[in-house]
Amino acid sequence: MKILFVNNFRYRGGGEEFLLDLLPGLVQRGACIGIVCRPNTALSSLFKETPIHVYPVEKSGPRGLCSFFKIAKIIRNNGYDIISIQRGHDIVQSWIAALLSRAHPRLIYTVHVADFINSRFLLGRMHHIVAISRYIKEKLESFYPSLSRNVRIIHHGIDLTALKKNKSSPGFIRNRFGITSVTPVVSSSGSMWKNQIEFLVAIVEIKNEFPSIRYLLLTPMAEMPQLREFKDRAVKLGVAEALLWLDTIPKGDMPSYYADIDLAISTFRNEGFGLWVVEALAMGTPVVALDGGGVRDSLEGCPAGVLVTHGAQEMAAEVIRILKDVKVRKSMSEAGPRWVAERFSRERMVDDYYRFFDSLVKEQ
């Protein structure tokens, strides 16, 4: 089984971390793996000194015009059975290269975000589509009902071993901000367009029960309208002093971040999957989330998480309930790692993808 992945993203984000978890596992199971990426990007160096074949191909400018032929040659000369596309912007390049190769590889598009490419024609060129949550599958089918028979859900998984290995004792966050171990800290992670502003109303209610509550925002601090709107709203509501700001941190420090917060708060109703929510659960951090988007796949029926349907007021009530009841919080903290280990491990994800790809090869 030979699979060529295509990802022309310039930076290292969630999609690239996904490939870093998936591709070595596929190789261990006997697959031959290659990846097409832009030269001098994170992906061009992530797999150095591994069995994964890296093909740096320029996509932009005059050289980009030759990319169709270069990738076609890669497909043809190496006998790739499957082309796995990770971003909608790479569909045209991959589809044309596959046609030029005359090798008839199966074209797969993995949809990681809810705002997928808005083209029925291009989506229809795919033999199969992988959605990382029911939410994305439903959006795809609503947009283009004919896709229904070709869409499969494969949830993300996380490396539980790495989380345990990097786990740090509490203090990483609290020492930085000079807050005590008994000060309640709740936190959201992600860019400021992920609707964190709605939780400010909840903070007003929570402060009535826990005057020292702190809401930590782990977010890129680049200026954007949503960041300014959030800060202005916090001042108007009188909760600005309850906010803590932390710019993005290295992945290796995330276990220490989870270890220092009492609850994880998810406010984004258009989340593709919400991998950070799964990581929080795996680290024993209970989660309270608005009931919407892909986070439902990891939280429905979860004994360590709560899905809220009626907005900020209900979210505030749930946060207060959990913070007040030590036994409940302890029970949720203990249940989270078990829940993730049973459903969202990296090994399960790799196995699911391997079986899926293997079934496509057998179809041919």
Residues 253 and 171 in one domain: yes
What does the pLDDT look like over 79-138, one tens digit per residue?
A: 999 999 999 999 999 999 999 999 999 999 999 998 888 899 999 999 999 999 999 999
Within 8 A by CB and 6+ apart from 233, the residues are 197, 200
Nearby residues of 93 by Cβ (< 8 Å), 6 or more positions away:
6, 8, 59, 67, 68, 71
- How many structural domains are present in the chain? 2
Which of 275, 317, 313, 323 lies closest to 295 in space, CA to CA? 275
The answer to whether residues 137 and 172 belong to one domain is: no
Surface-to-core class of residue 79, CB atoms within 10 Å of its CB (0-12 exposed, 13-18 middle, 19+ buried): exposed
Look over the chain and give the mean of its residue pLDDT values, rounded to a whole number: 93
Same domain, 317 and 240: yes
| pLDDT level of residue 233 (50, 70, 90 thresholds) | very high
CA distances to 5, 83, 156, 159 from 90, in Å: 10, 11, 21, 27
Residues 6+ apart with CB under 8 A from 94: 6, 71, 83, 85, 107
Residues 153 and 164 in one domain: no
Strands 82-85 and 287-290, bridge-based pairing: unpaired
Considering the domain architecture, whether residues 188 and 237 belong to the same structural domain is answered as: yes
Please give the Cα distance from 337 to 344 (Å, whole number). Answer: 10
> Are 57 and 67 in contact, with CB atoms under 8 Å apart?
yes
Residues 118, 63 share a domain: yes
91 Cβ contact list (under 8 Å, min separation 6): 85, 109, 117, 122, 125, 126
Assess whether pLDDT exceeds 80 at residue 247.
yes
Q: For 119-135, how does the pLDDT look when each residue is reduced to its tens digit (9 = 90+)?
A: 999 999 999 999 999 99
Nearest C-alpha neighbor of 186 from the set 196, 176, 175, 195:
196
Q: Is the pLDDT of residue 64 over 80?
A: no
User: Are the C-beta atoms of 298 and 278 separated by less than 8 Å?
Assistant: yes
Q: Are residues 248 and 152 in the same domain?
A: no
Q: What is the pTM of this model?
A: 0.92
Average pLDDT over residues 135-146: 95
Considering only CA atoms, which of 350, 343, 355 is closest in space to residue 273? Answer: 343
What tokens were used for 11? 């930076």
Same domain as 135, residue 213:
no
What is the span of the domain harbouring residue 297? 160-343
Mean pLDDT on 248-262: 89
Measure the CA–CA gap between 333 and 268, rounded to whole angstroms: 22
CA distance linking residue 341 with residue 334, whole number of Å: 12
Question: What count of Cα atoms within 13 Å lies in the side-chain half-sphere of residue 191?
Answer: 10
Taking the mean position of all CA atoms in its chain, how far away is CA 351? 19
Residues 290, 200 share a domain: yes
Same domain, 183 and 61: no
Kindly tell me if the per-residue pLDDT of 165 is higher than 60. no
Give 58-124 as a DSSP string.
Answer: --SHHHHTTHHHHHHHHHHHHT-SEEEE-SGGGHHHHHHHHHHHTS-PEEEEEE-SSS----HHHHT
User: Does pLDDT of 220 surpass 80?
Assistant: yes
Q: Where are the beta strands (DSSP E) in the chain?
A: 2-6, 32-37, 53-56, 82-85, 106-111, 128-131, 151-153, 185-189, 214-218, 243-246, 263-266, 287-290, 305-308
- Average pLDDT over every residue of 285-309: 97
Together in a domain, 233 and 246: yes
Please report, for the domain that includes residue 112, its CATH number: 3.40.50.2000
- Residue 331, pLDDT > 60, answer yes
Q: How much is the average pLDDT of 191-206?
A: 96
Whether residue 317 is found in the same domain as residue 350: no
Q: What pLDDT score was predicted for residue 251?
A: 83
Q: What pairing do the DSSP bridges indicate for beta strands 82-85 and 185-189?
A: unpaired
Q: What pLDDT band is residue 229 in, cutting at 50, 70 and 90?
A: very high
Residue 57 CA from chain centroid, whole number = 26
